[in-house]
Structures are given as structure tokens and as C-alpha cells.
Amino acid sequence: MTKKYVLFIILTFFLSKTNAQFVGYYNLHDGVVDMPNSSVAVLENNEFYFFYYAGYKSGTWKKTDKNTIELTEIKADSEPLKIYAKGGKVTKDLKINVINLSSSYARIGFSKDAVIPQEMKPVFNDGVNCLGDHYVITKKKDGNNYLTITIPTNPNFGHEKTIYPYAALIYTFPLAKKYSVFTVIPDPDALQEKLVFTLEKKNEKYRFNDRKDLEKEEITPEILNAVSTVKKTNPGVRDNSDLGELIKNSSDSKTSQNESKLQPYFTKYCPGDEPEIAAAKIENSEKQTPTTRSNGIYAVLNYVKYNYNVSKYILAKEASVTPKDFQSVEKIKPNYGGTELQITFTKAGALKFAAFTKTNINKPIAIVINKFIVSAPIIQSEISGGKANIAGKFTEKEIDELIKNLKK
């Protein structure tokens, strides 16, 4: 065997060994109280799959040095806004289902010609988002031949301070006479930049972006089966064939939007609320609700489905999980942006919190700090990761104050 082949075999062996140290499954232990843990599967063929609460993302990875790899998302081409249409009962009215625009800060205008209307009316106010209702705009067919919708170009719009005017994408769709029912489907992920992660090995532990001290687990048949299943689908894309035919937009461009003086089509409030209470809720939706309870995590005794009026919640007299069950409280910056407060539980506290969330699935729990309910998420599944994140529109200073009060 020549020296050339010997060197090639040694180099191949070295690269395989280096790559093998990253191939595995990583539980990120970042589960929020109403969301399961995220995880990453790094495969031998330089593919990776990042599983999180809303679905999954996939891409390729490459070695940047002997102890670090870079994982880059592969994004599918997708329109940020789609409209589906179907016939239905013969009627003189057009029905535009806009429930999916509830968090898109969208504006809508109707016109006879494919010309951008001068005034675009907000679809929703930006108050409390109560799910479970169907929001439909009804318009006469006569004279309304085109529908124009604008959405912010910034996918994080609404999560940060709003400055006018803001950049927006504008789409115009024909409203064919043969259709009566239209459904608007936004895809906020289409506006996001592709994600790039780093996975670093240090002292036999791993760090995935800001998640440190991770353990590498073996790739099991169950994980490979999950990967095989998602490969047959498009990430974040659902089958909308039940909504009718996909309507191609007749134009798309960019524009700027000033603050609107028009009342929105819908003011979102929860079923059962009186209008004046709803208005107060919207005005105070970002304010914390006072309570007489001490620091801790409480059951909500009077929750009614779809009624998220935190000010009306009656909390249990005793906390199900108390600060004595907290091992640490710290400030983190998750991959999806913002700043959150993360609670890591003691071993006993983790078991207590898992049992508590298991008995409160599809119900809210109340997180109380310094005599205020700072968060009241709906539990979707048992949280057994030993951690809980408190998310909200907090400033850095407010997060620091929350941590200080929890450590008292």
C-alpha cells in the first residue's frame, strides 16, 4: 500500500472519529410550562433535525473546528401569505375567514380594481388573544373584486416597540365570483432568516447555542423513525386542501404603513366578557394582575374554557410548587428571541411540578412573584424536564427585579 493510500485512510479515520463525537441526540431541557422540551438529532450523513413545540426544522451540519460544528437550516420556498377559496351556498356576500391573522398585525382593503386601497383597515386590535372563535369579514360581492392585505416585513413585529411608519408586504388577490368563502393563511416562518446553530463539545459536555451542559444520547430506532416520518412532510406546512383552491396573488410589493386611525374589524375578547370589561382587559393586557398569594405556582380554581381573563382567576390557597422547590432562577435568551426567566427545579421540585402539570392539562396555572400573577399559561402536556421558562414582554430590568423577588 502506498503512502498516499495510508494517509488517506488515516485522514478518513480521523474525520470519522471527529464527526462521531457529535452524532447523537440532545435534549435541550428548555420546556416552558405550556410547551415540551426542544431536542436536536445530529445524524451521520451531516443532516440534523431540530424538534420544537411548533414542529421541526432541518438542515445540514459541518465541522468548524475539532470541537465545534455549525448547523444551518435548509428553508423551503414559501409565500408569507396565502388565500384559499371555495364555492358554497349561492349568496351575494363574500366571507373572508381571518382567524389565522390574529397575531399577524394585518390590514385589509377591498377594491373594484387591482389598485392598492388608500386606507387599509386593521383586522384585529393588539389586545388579548382568545382562541376558539371564528372571525369572518362579510362583504357584498358587488364592486369588491380584489382583496388587498398588508403584513409587517419584520416577523418580530409586535414583540418589540412599534415605530411608525413600518415596512410591510402588500398582496392583492382576485375575488372570483364563483367563490364565496375565502380563508387567509399567513406563514410567519417564511419571513424569518434561516437559522444557524452551533454545537460545541467541552469537557465531555455539549453546548447548543445558549443551552449548556447537555448530555449526548444515542440515536435510537424511535428517533430514526421520527426523522423518517417528518422527511415525508414539509416542516411547518399543513394540508390546506380542505379550504379549497389556492388563489394566486395578482401582485405583491412593499409599502410603508402609518398608524391607523380606523377601528379594527374585530376587538378580541373572551366569550362571556362584557364589552366594557373586554375593553379594560385590552387596555391592561400587558399589566400584571395583583394577588394576595405569596411567591409560587398555583392552580386556578375557576377556569372556564376560552376565558383568559386573569383578573378574574381564583387561585388555590396554597402554592403547588414553592420557591423551596427551586434550585436556581436565572435570565436566559432563547433561540427565538427575547429575554425570559428560567426556573430550574430541585429533584423533588421537578417531580412535584411534573405531577402538577399532568393534572392541569388544558388548564391555566398561575405563576406569582411579589404579589402579582406574572404569567398564566395554558398547560398543553406534562412538563417533566425539570425546568420552566416564564415568557412575557419583560424588559431586562423587569426580569432582574423578578429574579431578585423570587430569591427573597
Cell numbers standing for residue 323: 420557591
* Domains in the chain, CATH or no CATH each: 14-74+196-231 (2.40.128.500), 81-190+239-257 (no CATH), 283-406 (3.30.1360.200)
* Residue 210 CA neighbour count, 13 Å, CB half: 12
Strands 372-375 and 289-290: antiparallel
Where b means 16+ CB within 10 Å and e means fewer, 383-395 reads: bebbbbbbbbebe
Averaged pLDDT for residues 247-264: 86
Burial (0-12, 13-18, 19+ Cβ within 10 Å), 27 = middle
Nearest to 123, CA basis, from 265, 259, 279, 267: 265
Q: Of the ranges 44-53, 307-316, 323-332, 389-398, which one carries the lowest mean pLDDT score?
A: 389-398
**pLDDT, average across residues 29-43:** 75
User: 54 versus 178: which is more confidently predicted?
Assistant: 178
Q: Is the peptide bond before 271 cis (omega within 30 degrees of 0)?
A: no
CA–CA separation, 205 and 8 (whole Å): 30
Confidence class for position 82, pLDDT limits 50, 70, 90: very high
Q: What is d(CA 123, CA 93) in angstroms, rounded to the nearest whole number?
A: 18
Helices (DSSP H) in 3-69: which residue ranges? 3-20
| Cell numbers representing residue 161 in the block | 416597540
Q: Which residue, 270, 273, 272, 310, is CA-closest to 293?
A: 310
340 pLDDT more than 90 = no
pLDDT tens digits along 194-233: 899 999 998 889 999 888 889 899 998 888 888 887 776 6
- Of 80, 82, 86, the C-alpha closest to 182 is 86
DSSP structure class, residue 124: B
Q: What is the pTM of this model?
A: 0.58
Mean pLDDT of 364-368: 89
Q: Which helix (H) or strand (E) holds 312?
A: none
Q: What's the chain's average pLDDT?
A: 80
Taking Cα atoms as reference points, which of 282, 408, 390 lies closest to residue 339? 390
Can you tell me the distance from the alpha carbon of 331 to that of 329, in angstroms, rounded to the nearest whole number?
Answer: 7
CB of 154 within 8 A of CB of 167?
yes
CA distance 208 to 342: 17
Q: Which of 38-52, 251-265, 293-307, 385-399 has the lowest mean pLDDT?
A: 385-399
Question: Comparing C-alpha atoms, which of 97, 104, 105 is closest to residue 134?
Answer: 97
Task: Quote the pLDDT of residue 382.
Answer: 80
Nearest Cα residue to 227 out of 78, 23, 15? 23
The beta-carbon contacts of 173-178 under 8 Å, at least 24 apart in sequence, are: 173/83, 173/146, 173/147, 173/148, 173/149, 173/247, 173/248, 173/249, 173/250, 174/114, 174/145, 174/146, 174/247, 174/250, 175/94, 175/141, 175/144, 175/145, 175/146, 175/147, 176/85, 176/247, 177/141, 178/87
- Residue 237 is predicted with a pLDDT of 53
- Portion of the chain with pLDDT greater than 90, in percent: 27
For the stretch 285-336, pLDDT in tens is 445 688 889 999 999 998 876 566 787 788 999 999 999 999 998 888 765 5
Among the residue ranges 129-133, 250-254, 357-361, 371-375, the one predicted with the least confidence is 129-133
Q: 78-99 in b/e burial notation, b at 16+ Cβ within 10 A? A: ebbbbbbbeeeeeeeebebbbb
DSSP-assigned letters across all residues of 240-286: -GGG-EEEPPSEEEEEEEPPP-SPPSB----TT--HHHHHHHHHTTT
Count CB neighbours of 224 within 10 A: 12
Is 374 a residue whose pLDDT tops 90?
Answer: no
